[in-house]
Structure 1
Amino acid sequence: MEASQVIPMPATASDVSSRRAAGPDVGLRLAEPCIVRTDLPDGSFVLRSSVPLEDFDRCIGDWLARWAAKAPARVFLAQRTDSGWHTVSYGEAHATVRNIGQALLDLDIAPENPVVALSDNSVNLALLSLAAMHVGLRIAVVSSAYTRVSSDHAKLHAILASLHPGLVYAEDAALYGAAIRRAGLSCPVVYAQGAAGGELPFSALCAASAGPGVDEALRSITGATIARILLTSGSTGAPKLVPNTHEMLCANQQMIAQCWPFVDETHPVVLDWLPWSHTFGANHNFNLVLRNGGALYIDDGRPAPGLIERTIEGIRQVRPTLFFNVPKGYDALLPYLEADEALATALFERLDMLFFAAAALPQKTAERLRAVARGARHRSLFFTTEWGSTETSPVVTSAHFSSSDPRNIGVPVPGVELKFVPCQGKHELRVRGPSIFAGYLGDEEKTRAAFDEQGFYCMGDAGRLADPADPNSGVIFDGRVSEDFKLTTGTWVSVGSLRVRAVSAMSPYALDIVVTGHDRDEVGLLVFPSAKLRALANDQDGTLCGKSLGLVPAVRRALGAVLADLGRGAGSSQRPARAVLLSAAPAIEQGEITDKGYINQRAVLTLRASDVDRLYSDCQSVIYPNKISQG
């Protein structure tokens, strides 16, 4: 049976298994979950799809070649310029990729030495990445924040030393040149703008003439050939190097297509800012567009003041059919969508799917998005998520059904096994399948620690069945096992569930929240204050630090009321007893936050130990729950 032909089951009365008939309801073809559970003697159990994984392509280059032959004039890539959108068709991209591939072969780059890029998303970076993979080389995109935001570039230089690049690329020598020169590299350096003596202009790579060696290199690629190297966040030390093979990436896109049959039929139009230094932006979104012959409009905006306006302008111009974002991105967009009916229509009117990932979405954010969508379209919105990691290329589970619970991360995709292992009162999630990596580059010790005796990769996340009696109901994300802790009472604190509740409750006063209480009597919150909170304190210029903000009566009343609401009816493990406001924003160069906006709990607690001490010192800036009226 072909999975793409299956229509979802009708709804049941149970809220926890709310698999509404998403296909008829939202007008899309979605595969029906067909999940089998196998219980193991040690108390673990494994979920897998009974639908087999279908054949998938051999390598990334086959996707580009296919669409260049089928639809050479169709827009593949687009980037905003001062005069509009610069577009590149599939035929143009294929020809340029082959030429750049020839230039890379002429430079005689060893297969184990990756092509390393330091810049933000661009058409040039897309073409260079595809060219490297086309001729059997590896592309490694390093977050541009290590160059643009960092002050000393020590982490960047350590990353470059661990990668041993065969070539380094950056868009603009004026922005990246100083940091690259200080790295003392011996490999070729390429710039799209500003190349000086001894450096190569990107135009020179494009000007090469592809020869038979390019086609020979493409034919020699196997599934085991490494296509991309991604870096973990490095929050607990140096970033780990994660190799993604062509087999991993091609298998994963086939898994996605079997869950979302409509992507095979619609040639998606995507406006996306998510960085290609992350698996979400690169392996998921970029590859989804390419595999399915869609158009990718590169968004030069970000979910931040002064940049979100670029995303808004892009939405008006592109009117996407698929839209991907992280929870922080939706938080930034929502005030504009709620205030501007034309903008909401531009986003939602022809949208097939609204998607979030990378962090848990607060329930309040989900409800606001659905409310805006209802006013801007005539059919229901398919609002969904998936779950995975850098090491899983990335999708492990897919919510290819409708659910009212944003914590529901779906069911295992075809070809992947998901194991639930009892751990600290929860179930740790472990995965196995053709889209899972084999180990970290150059680190046998961390590789051994990452897998169990049955070859399952240990994700470090926890999950539980939405309905224990029905494995098709989906998996509820239950936080990070490594983030949970015990109070001195011996009570386990589920950090993930509490953090999502607190972030939702403190909207719009908190940018984000970190939960504290390890070996303490009470749960506390470290709060990154938002501009809205500063405005509440009549401090539009942001001159008050976190400590003094916490002394403002209006701030104390507002957050005290939130803490009181959070504590109503909750046990000690889910009832914050105190909070403090942090002075400094989370630092990306120190691993406190990624450039997708995800807060790293452990890194913040380590780097801000003095704020944790302040939280439990009963000083004047500590905020406590307001007393609840008994009347």
Structure 2
Amino acid sequence: MAAASGDNPSKLFAMPAIVADRRDDGSILIRSTTPLKASARCVGDWLEHWARQAPDRIFLGERASIETPWSTVSYRDARGIVRRAASWILAKGLSTERPLVILSDNGIDHALLALAAQHVGVPSAAISPAYSLMSKDFDKLKSMIALLDPGAIYVASTKPFAAALAAIAPLHRATIVSGNPDDADALSFRTIAATPESSEVATAFAAVTPETIAKFLFTSGSTGTPKAVINTQLMLTSSQQAKAQTWTFLEQAGEELIILDWLPWSHTFGANHNFNLVLRNGGTLYVDGGKPAPGLFATSLANLRSVVPTVYFNVPRGFDMLIAALRTDDELRRKFFEGTKFAFYAGAALPQNLWDALEELSLQTVGRRLPMVSAWGSTETSPLATDCHFLAKRSGNIGVPIPGTELKLVPSGDKLEVRVRGPNVTPGYWKAPDLTAAAFDDEGFYKIGDAVTFADPDRPELGLFFDGRVAEDFKLNSGTWVSVGTLRVAGIAALAPLAQDIVITGHGRDEVRFLVFPNLAACRALAGLADNADAREAIGHAAVRSAIGQGLARLKAQGGHSSGHATRALLLAEPASVDGGEITDKGYINQRAVLTRRAAAVAVLEDDGASEPIGCAG
């Protein structure tokens, strides 16, 4: 292990200590033998601590564009703004029943206002900007606002959110707060931040307990109305305490912990994992205004040239785009591999070809492999449930249970369904007792709906592999099970770089087939077309169709049996729909939602006489 990393892994991570108890009913209980140490009472204790211990250290940074310098706020100044804004929140009567809602993307004002609410026991609820800025009917946003009945709603500026604000206006009595001081139709955040600190703030802060609700985070809502997941203070603080016990370098990291991150705070990965990682350990977080999307990743790359992170966080799509940039930019490649301790992927499994490419680039650049780790969990587990705090041999290892958290593996067909219990697990869904009751089994384990498999059944300390969603897997007519999660990752790798994502079809049929969301930039490049060429022209080009057919053939050669490859693929010209619940702003595709919404495309794919689908070469 030490030879694989520029940093001694013993200085980065704790060695896993895991036991697995096998029951007579076939279920398996897995847990860490390392006890979970006491965690902070609340998130606000972290801010108060670092404002005392390192008052001048930069807490948060952001910039309006890549041409402008970073605007930063220290821990001391952040605490002052949080306390003053909390005074306004209390005076305005916000409460658990009338929480703070935030519609905008990541930013310093967003962070400080959310922390102000949590400081005095008022939940914050960051809602994905996609529901306001990309939606056409605002139906999901309306359902969220109606459920929460907010006391205040924050936007960075009212103009981009005008349509959304108008759509939800009849559903609430909230004060609209804007980060833009020139917005005459909203209360300025600057005004709130200048509120004199009242004595009630200290009283309310002292009354916060581990059981106090810190925030509501919504599930993706891929089917039906999104659910508001209750996140208590204990969930957030225990999750970070477990992280500190697995990533042992964090306890001494301090000002050396620097994160550059775009992952949205409306999701548990960006908010509870990454943001809280910085706050708990006194690091610095620079808000990346880019993201892994066409036209936006250039901003991420410019920011990465300015700030080299201690740990680089991203989702697979982001790593795909990063690798392409690193191959053509010698200076960025050197800075990245010399300065970054390790990379962390989550949100979906990292295709092995991307893992291999990062290792190869790292070896070429600095003579060592960049360590790559992952974790697993959900909004309901805040999010950490397992952590790969060791150097896995290949992509896909989600690690082992964190201290204080138990997993129960339950036989489900030929798979092991995984369930979670621990202080990091939600008590339930807001104002939804029936959904809450259905989410837990009779032993109090949360039924997350995923399946896992052991790296080695006899050595649980070697970790687990994600084995798909139990509800997504299906049987072919032959009776053979198709593991959707595993095949999706293999398919993306086989069709690289032309496939951005893949949806698996074939339920109740003889063969597996792929609906493919194409990487249009790669398709246009292969076809020799302009960057703005029509999507249909790009995906219909002979060179693209030939490459897809060859990729299907490579997958067949690897997979062999009928459930391990696809016989045909259909490239989709229309991007994934937010309103249709097909995609989250992390770029994760929901298989079931796509299959439901695109039934016509599935019918074309299954029609052996149709010319649009691409067959397996040879």
TM range (shorter): over 0.9
* Cα distance in 1, alignment partners of residues 8 and 102 from structure 2: 43
Question: 1:375-407, CA deviations, whole angstroms, 9 ceiling, x for partnerless residues?
Answer: 333554321001000000010111110012211
Is 1:143 matched with 2:120?
A: no
Paired residue type of 2:100 = V
* Cα distance in 1, alignment partners of residues 491 and 126 from structure 2: 34
Distance 1:549 1:122, change over 3 A: closer
Q: 2:167 aligns with which of 178, 182, 201?
A: 182
Shift of residue 221 of structure 1?
A: 0.4
* Cα distance in 2, alignment partners of residues 554 and 178 from structure 1: 42
Q: 1:120 aligns with which of 91, 101, 105?
A: 105
Which aligned pairs between 1:330-479 and structure 2 lie closer than 5 A? 330-377=319-366, 380-479=369-468
* Cα distance in 1, alignment partners of residues 381 and 123 from structure 2: 17
Paired residue type of 1:117 = I
Distance 1:309 1:237, change over 3 A: same
Is 1:209 matched with 2:196?
A: yes
Structure 1 residue runs of 5 or longer lacking an equivalent are: 1-9, 12-19
More moved, 142-151 vs 246-255: 142-151
* Cα distance in 1, alignment partners of residues 127 and 59 from structure 2: 23
Contact map agreement 2:157 2:183 (CA 8 A) in 1: no
Is 1:153 matched with 2:153?
A: no
* Cα distance in 2, alignment partners of residues 93 and 376 from structure 1: 39
Instruction: Give the 3-state SS of the residue equivalent to 1:121 in structure 2.
Output: coil
TM-score by length of structure 1 reads: 0.94
Distance 1:448 1:135, change over 3 A: same
Q: What does residue 504 of structure 2 align with?
A: 515
Shift of residue 201 of structure 1?
A: 1.0
Instruction: Give the 3-state SS of the residue equivalent to 1:275 in structure 2.
Output: coil
Instruction: Give the 3-state SS of the residue equivalent to 2:35 in structure 1.
Output: coil
Q: 2:118 aligns with which of 129, 133, 145?
A: 133
Contact map agreement 2:376 2:383 (CA 8 A) in 1: yes
Question: 1:522-566, CA deviations, whole angstroms, 9 ceiling, x for partnerless residues?
Answer: 1000011222223434443665555x7665432332111111111
Shift of residue 24 of structure 1?
A: 6.4
Q: 1:257 aligns with which of 223, 236, 244?
A: 244
Which aligned pairs between 1:277-296 and structure 2 lie closer than 5 A? 277-296=266-285
Distance 1:378 1:266, change over 3 A: farther
Distance 1:572 1:83, change over 3 A: closer
Distance 1:537 1:351, change over 3 A: closer
Shift of residue 211 of structure 1?
A: 1.9
* Cα distance in 2, alignment partners of residues 194 and 492 from structure 1: 57
Question: 1:577-607, CA deviations, whole angstroms, 9 ceiling, x for partnerless residues?
Answer: 1111112011123211111111111111010
Shift of residue 309 of structure 1?
A: 1.1
Distance 1:445 1:381, change over 3 A: same
* Cα distance in 1, alignment partners of residues 386 and 540 from structure 2: 45
Shift of residue 71 of structure 1?
A: 0.5
Q: What does residue 518 of structure 2 align with?
A: 529
Contact map agreement 1:271 1:318 (CA 8 A) in 2: yes
Is 1:170 matched with 2:155?
A: yes
Q: What does residue 593 of structure 2 align with?
A: 603
* Cα distance in 2, alignment partners of residues 549 and 364 from structure 1: 24
* Cα distance in 1, alignment partners of residues 532 and 511 from structure 2: 30
Structure 2 residue runs of 5 or longer lacking an equivalent are: none
TM-score by length of structure 2 reads: 0.95
* Cα distance in 2, alignment partners of residues 273 and 505 from structure 1: 28
Distance 1:127 1:491, change over 3 A: same
Instruction: Give the 3-state SS of the residue equivalent to 2:514 in structure 1.
Output: strand
Question: 1:227-269, CA deviations, whole angstroms, 9 ceiling, x for partnerless residues?
Answer: 0110000001100110100001000000000001101111210
Instruction: Give the 3-state SS of the residue equivalent to 2:348 in structure 1.
Output: coil
* Cα distance in 2, alignment partners of residues 331 and 29 from structure 1: 25
Contact map agreement 1:524 1:578 (CA 8 A) in 2: yes
Which aligned pairs between 1:260-339 and structure 2 lie closer than 5 A? 260-267=247-254, 268-339=257-328
* Cα distance in 2, alignment partners of residues 535 and 377 from structure 1: 30
Instruction: Give the 3-state SS of the residue equivalent to 1:262 in structure 2.
Output: helix
Q: What does residue 612 of structure 2 align with?
A: 621
Instruction: Give the 3-state SS of the residue equivalent to 1:375 in structure 2.
Output: helix
More moved, 569-578 vs 387-396: 569-578
| Percent identity for Structure 1 against Structure 2 | 47
Instruction: Give the 3-state SS of the residue equivalent to 2:70 in structure 1.
Output: strand
Is 1:229 matched with 2:220?
A: no
Distance 1:551 1:68, change over 3 A: closer
Q: 2:42 aligns with which of 34, 39, 59?
A: 59
Runs of 4+ residues deviating >6 angstroms = 20-24
Is 1:558 matched with 2:543?
A: no
* Cα distance in 2, alignment partners of residues 74 and 196 from structure 1: 31
More moved, 143-152 vs 237-246: 143-152
